[in-house]
Amino acid sequence: MRYAPVSPRSRRTVLMLMADSLFLSFQYSQSMCDRDNHWDGEGKHNGMKRWRPATGGTRCKFFICPSWAVIVMLPFLAASLSAQQALLASGELPDAPVPQVSTSVSADQPTANVSGAVTDVSGAVIAGAAVTLENAVSHDKKTAVTNEQGIFTFAPLDAGIFTITIQSKGFAPVVKTGISLHAGENYQLSPTTMQVAAATATVEVGAQTQYELAEAQIKAEEKQRFLFIEPNFYVTYISNPAPLTAGQKMRLATRFAVDPFTFIYAGAVAGVEQANNDYPGYGRGAAGYGKRYGATVGDIVTGSIIGAGALPALLHQDPRYFYKGTGSIPSRIGYALATIVRTKGDDGKWQPNYSGILGDLASGAISNSYLAPGDRKGAVTVINGAVEGFALRGVTALEQEFLARWITTHSKDKGTIGRH
């Protein structure tokens, strides 16, 4: 992932300092992730190595983790509703049974309910999908909308045979027929996966273009910061965001590279390296500190422009991490770690993370070029930097999946921004 390109020279320093942070993150996120344990998978993915504060556990020390009480409310719908039965009179055959079809809930039998979840092909939840339940006999209909977890529920219901139709903008409709519901039954549908709709010639008056959707999403992502300070631009919480154009990728990478936090972070890393006398060829004193500071800034800028801008634009890959947020903890861990070597293309499909891997190698080669001659190790430095980059992306992915959303500003209002 490439949330922020971290200096290849300073990756080892950052990885050591992140050990404490990750340990505290998992303790904190154990209580937080349950609050988000609903249907899904996406979150969406890949990413940029994100820089870290230069002191161990800084973020966790600034943020006092409260004791969260996790309350998961499931739709226990077992209410009995009384219904009146109409008496039908027959003129010629008063004793004959009168056939009738009633869509109201019968008072003399337990009620039932139907629920299910809706996701896209990547496993990301689809909120706001329109769901219609139709009685196959009476043709009476009920409607519902999937919630933020992609879940819908119909209750109370009489026994019968039903058809469910699910529709969401940008996806092909899904129809499920022959759903047989018995009295008192809590019917749980298997997860519904919606496919992206094929392109049509229909023109929607006033509809946003794909570019406009992406622009709205970028503006929202540029407001995302850890504890109001550190940029967290390269993560999206929308289940199906619009792909970025090449120009948008370069603009976001430049915005990240010149953010004021870049220079604060570089100063902290240079200070740690100066104290440890890392890269002794830079020397000591103010001159040595200045060289370390300049090298760190250079690494961030070149890493961002190449790894998050140029290569994703050239290879048509998305540099963002696609937040999953649901499922079991092992499945989310596996999902996060997989983004080290895979990413989403502009077509929304998973593919090898060429831009991330090549970005690590390119950043390492450039960084090695301005080390002092005595500190250069040629290919060894480049390869070591790439391996450390993989490790750092993995740690950052885990933190994004389990902790970051809860301490990132404007991270909880993305569910409806530019959804298509």
- Residue 198's pLDDT is 64
Instruction: Render 201-260 in DSSP notation, one character per residue.
Output: S---TTPPPHHHHHHHHHHHHTT-EETTTEE--SEE--SSPPPPPHHHHHHHHHHHHT-H
Give the containing element (helix H, strand E) for 68.
none
DSSP bridge partners of 266: none
What count of Cα atoms within 13 Å lies in the side-chain half-sphere of residue 265? 29
In the chain, the N- to C-terminal Cα span, in Å, equals: 24
How many angstroms separate the CA atoms of 387 and 103, rounded? 63
Spell out, as residue ranges, where the chain has pLDDT lower than 50. 1-5, 7-8, 16, 19-20, 22-107, 199-207, 414-420
| Alpha carbon distances (Å) from 89 to 93, 107, 153 | 9, 21, 37
| Alpha carbon distances (Å) from 25 to 193, 209, 255, 384 | 32, 39, 27, 26
Give the helix, strand, coil percentages of the chain, each rounded to 5. 40, 15, 45
Instruction: Render 5-25 in DSSP notation, one character per residue.
Output: ---TTTHHHHHHHHHHHHHHH
How many angstroms separate the CA atoms of 145 and 415, rounded? 14
- Residue 233's pLDDT is 93
Work out the burial of residue 223: count CB atoms within 10 Å of its CB; fewer than 13 is exposed, 13-18 middle, 19 or more buried.
Answer: middle
φ, ψ of residue 192 to 5 degrees: the values are -95, 125
| Alpha carbon distances (Å) from 27 to 326, 327, 329, 402, 403 | 18, 18, 13, 10, 10
Instruction: Render 155-203 in DSSP notation, one character per residue.
Output: EEE-SEEEEEEEE-TTB--EEEEEEEE-TT-EEEPPPEEEPBPPP-S--
- Residue 208's pLDDT is 57
- Residue 84's pLDDT is 37
Contact 158, 140 (CB under 8 A): no
Question: Which single residue is written with the structure tokens 């569910």?
Answer: 415
Which domains are seen in the chain, by residue range?
Answer: 11-65+210-407 (no CATH), 112-194 (2.60.40.1120)
Q: How large a percentage of the chain has pLDDT more than 90?
A: 45
Task: List pLDDT tens digits, range 85-144.
Answer: 443 344 444 444 444 444 444 445 678 899 999 999 888 999 999 999 999 888 899 999
How many angstroms separate the CA atoms of 48 and 102, rounded? 58
Contact 128, 168 (CB under 8 A): yes
Quote the Cα angle for 327-147-137, to 5°.
110
Contact 302, 257 (CB under 8 A): no
φ, ψ of residue 324 to 5 degrees: the values are -90, -65
Distance, C-alpha 344 to centroid of its chain: 12
How many angstroms separate the CA atoms of 27 and 405, rounded? 15
pLDDT, the chain, mean? 76
How many angstroms separate the CA atoms of 324 and 250, rounded? 25
| Alpha carbon distances (Å) from 64 to 31, 58, 68, 224, 307 | 14, 11, 12, 20, 33
